[in-house]
Amino acid sequence: MVVGDQRRGFRGDLFLPGSVPCHRARRRRPGIRTRRIAPQKFASGGHGSAQKGYGAALIDDNTPTPSHAAFRWPRFALVLAAFLGIWALALGALVALFGWESTFAQMGWFFTKAALLTFGGAYAVLPYVYQGAVDHYGWLTAPQMIDGLALGETTPGPLIMVVAFVGFVGAWTKAALASGALALAGCLGATVATFFTFLPSFLFILLGARWWSRRTVTFASPRR
C-alpha cells in the first residue's frame, strides 16, 4: 500500500499540471515554435571563435621557473625551522605566562592538532573541534557551538573562522584572565585559536608550493 502511494505520488510529481516538468515544458514551448517559424533568428556561429589565437601567454606551461621560486632543500629546511620556531615560541610564551593547564595553552595545543591532523576543509575540522571544545574541555555548550556555526555560515569569510568564536566563548566562559576581564580574555582566546589554526596552513603553502611547482614541471616535461 505504501509502495502504491509512493508510485502515485511520483507520477503526480511528473505529470500533474503544476509539476516542475510540466512547468518547464510550457516555458519551452513558445521558443520551440518560434524556432520552427524563424530558424535564422536562432542560428549561432558555433565554436569557430574558439580557434582564434591571441598570442603567447606571459606565463604558460613552458615558462621556466624563476630562480627565486625554484625549489631548494636549504630554503625548505630554513622555512620549516622558522615555522617550528614561531610555533614553539608562541606556545612557550603561553605556557610561561599562564601555565600548561591554562585555557590559552590548551587552546594553542588543541588547535595545532586540529590544523595538522584534519584534512578536507572546515566541515572536516569542525567535528573534531566540536568534540574537543564541547565534550572534552567544556569551553562552550553544544547550542553555543551550533550558534557559532550558524554565525560562520551567514558572515563573510571562510567557515573555519568559527574557531575564533570558539576561542572567544571558551576564554570568556573559563574566565581565563580574571572575572573582571572577560572581554579581554575572549579577544585573546579568539586570537590564540585563529593563530594556531592558520599557522600550519601557511607552513604547508610556503613549503609545498615550490616543491609542487617542481613536480608539475617534471610531470609536464615531454618524455624522450
For 157-199, what is each residue's pLDDT tens digit? 888 899 999 999 999 999 999 878 999 999 999 999 999 999 9
Long-range contact pairs involving 216-221 (C-beta distance under 8 Å, separation at least 24): 217/65, 220/61
CA dihedral over 158, 160, 166, 167, signed as positive or negative: negative
pLDDT in tens, 104-125: 999 999 999 999 888 878 888 8
Assign 21 a pLDDT band (cuts: 50, 70, 90): low
Residue 138, φ and ψ in degrees, nearest 5: 70, 35
* Cβ atoms < 10 Å from Cβ of 100: 11
Is the separation of the CB atoms in 108 and 191 below 8 Å?
Answer: no
Confidence of residue 37 (pLDDT cuts 50, 70, 90): confident
The strand ranges marked E within the chain are none
Q: Give the integer Cα–Cα distance in Å for 191 and 169.
A: 12
Helix (H) or strand (E) holding 215: helix 182-220
pTM to 2 decimal places? 0.69
Residues 167 and 189 sit within 8 Å (Cβ to Cβ): yes
Burial 115-128 (b: 16+ CB within 10 A, else e): beebeeebeebbee
Q: Is the pLDDT of residue 10 over 50?
A: no
- Cβ density class 39-76: b for 16+ within 10 Å, e for less: eeeeeeeeeeeeeeeeeeeeeeeeeeeeeeeebeeeee
Q: d(Cα 36, Cα 30) in Å, to the nearest integer?
A: 10
Is pLDDT above 60 for 47?
no
Could you state, in order of their start, the residue ranges of all structural domains in the chain? 2-37, 86-220
